[in-house]
Amino acid sequence: MHILITGAAGMIGRKLIARLIGAGVLNNKPIEKLTLLDVNAPQKPAAFAGRVETVGGDIADPAIARVAIAGRPDVIFHLAAIVSGEAELDFEKGMHVNFDGSRALFEAVRAADDDYRPRVVFTSSIAVFGAPFPEAIPDDFALTPLTSYGAQKVMVEQMLADYTRRGFLDGIGIRLPNIAVRPGRPNKAASGFFSSIIREPLNGEEAVLPVEDTVRGWHASPRAAVSFLIHAAGLDAKEIGPRVNLTMPGVCCTVAEQIAALRRAAGDKVAARIRRESDPLIMRIVAGWPSRFDARRALALGFKAEASFDEIVRVHIDDELSGRFTA
């Protein structure tokens, strides 16, 4: 088994690499080689006994894409992306990485060989949907995104479906929920506050909440996100069917319910470290996001997420804080 991961230096990429190395197999086949691509060449994982090739460069450069797939990886996890807030502020950068980068990768696969058809797992987003929404959003709800990031994800979803239909690759797109709680420092994702209002207080730091407590989100942990990716890599194409893009399960809750879960896990003093300060751009972006999904297709295919936000908080404390936090 040879695996290519784009965006390998990102948070999900690093966690995926660690999970794959820990398992040693994917789809019941021993993992013999990893090709890891990011804008700067990722570090080689020390614990992996197989071969590792690291590639640094612009994924939208066709030459870089050709280098990445030169070894004909069996499975490609396409994680590389410019996040939502940054894609909204810098249209050219978002299009270049999110769309042009995906097209360069898919075209490199198409041009490689007539009998080469890898499984491509693409991380899409619930941002492909736009208001007004029904109470629960099914997979076949109209794709009318209200952000450039969402529009870029829609374009790649459609390209993935067409390249799969034409037999150029074997694709599946998984629309990730808001991934919380993200470890590390904040990034430029508009959804970053969903993580920061949990992460920073647990670290003894103040967090800024830029939206109202009534804002509702659809969440899954980084641990669940990695499980989605691995499960998607092993699904039979006949099970997936022609609609290759689907929404992942998650936990629907308001910001107030998130804070209540934090308070139950860590106490009033920790929850009091959240400061409210409105941000008009974040509020505008979030207002166009969906919040509750009917993920019956994903559930029927065996995808699983947490059952409550309390569980998501506990996953963060266990996975990132070794079970301890700053009270």
Say which DSSP state 278 is in.
Answer: -
Q: The tokens 């059952």 sit on which residue? A: 307
Which tokens go with 315? 């996953």
Whole-number Å distance between alpha carbons of 177 and 192: 12
The single residue of 149, 168, 193, 194 carrying the catalytic annotation is 149
Is 101 in contact with 80 (CB distance < 8 Å)? yes
Q: Which long-range contacts (CB under 8 A, 24 or more apart) does 236-244 make?
A: 237/164, 237/170, 239/301, 240/172, 240/301, 242/161, 242/165, 243/139, 243/140, 243/161, 243/297, 244/160, 244/161, 244/164, 244/171, 244/172, 244/173
Is 79 in contact with 5 (CB distance < 8 Å)? yes
Q: Indicate the residue type of 165.
A: R
Whole-number Å distance between alpha carbons of 268 and 327: 9
Q: Indicate the residue type of 127.
A: A
DSSP three-state, residue 176 = strand
Question: What strands lie across the sheet with 33-38, from one edge to the other?
Answer: 51-56, 33-38, 2-6, 75-78, 119-125, 170-176, 245-247
Which tokens go with 17? 């690499």
Q: Is 149 one of the catalytic residues? A: yes
Whole-number Å distance between alpha carbons of 303 and 10: 22
Active site positions, annotated: 149
